[in-house]
Amino acid sequence: MTPDTTAYLVLGLLVTFGLMGALVGSMLWRYRALRKDEQTLRQLLDEER
Amino acid sequence: MATKTLTPTKTTSTTIPRALAALTLVTLLATLGGLLLGLLYAGTDDQQGHIQRIFYIHMPAFFGAFVAFGTTVFGGLAYLRTRQAKWDTLALAGVETGLALAVVNLATGSIWARPIWNTWWTWDPRLTSAAIMALTYMAYLMLRAGIENPDQRRRFASVYGILAITTVIMTLVIIRIRPDTIHPAVIGSSPQNAEGGFGLTSSMLTALMGNLPVWGLLIPVTLMWWRVRLESVQERVEALKARLGEK
Tens of pLDDT, residue by residue over A5-38, are: 999 999 999 999 999 999 999 999 999 999 999 9
Asked if residue B180 belongs to a domain, the reply is yes
Please check whether residue B210 lies inside any domain of the structure. Answer: no
Cβ proximity of A43 and B9 under 8 Å: yes
Task: Establish if B34 belongs to a structural domain.
Answer: yes
Question: 0.95 cut: is pTM over it?
Answer: no
Asked if B41 and B194 count as a contact pair (C-beta separation under 8 A), the reply is no
Least Cα separation, residue B229 to chain A (angstroms):
9
Cα A22 from chain centre: 5
Average pLDDT over chain B, rounded to whole?
Answer: 88
* CB contacts, 8 Å: B100 with chain A: 19-20, 23
Write out the residue range of the structural domain in which residue B40 sits. 22-204+218-246
What value of ipTM does the predicted structure carry? 0.89
Residue B209 belongs to some domain of the structure: no
User: Is B1 in a helix, a strand, or coil?
Assistant: coil
For residue B122, being part of any structural domain is answered with yes
Domain count of the fold of chain B: 1
In a domain, B38, yes or no: yes
Q: Does B118 touch chain A (CB under 8 A)?
A: no
Q: Of the candidates B190, B212, B183, B172, which has an alpha carbon nearest to the alpha carbon of residue B64? A: B212
Q: Is residue B163 part of a domain?
A: yes
Distance CA A5, CA B49 (A): 6
Average pLDDT, integer, range B199-218: 92
Tell me the count of A-B CB pairs closer than 8 A: 114
B14, part of any domain: no
Could you report the per-residue pLDDT of B169-193, keeping only the tens digit for each? 999 888 778 777 778 766 555 444 4
Rounded Cα–Cα distance for residues B200 and B208 (Å): 9
- Distance from the B165 Cα atom to the nearest Cα atom in chain A, whole angstroms: 22
SS3 content of chain A, % helix, strand, coil (to 5): 90, 0, 10
pLDDT tens digits along B58-107: 999 999 999 999 999 999 999 999 999 999 999 999 999 999 999 999 99
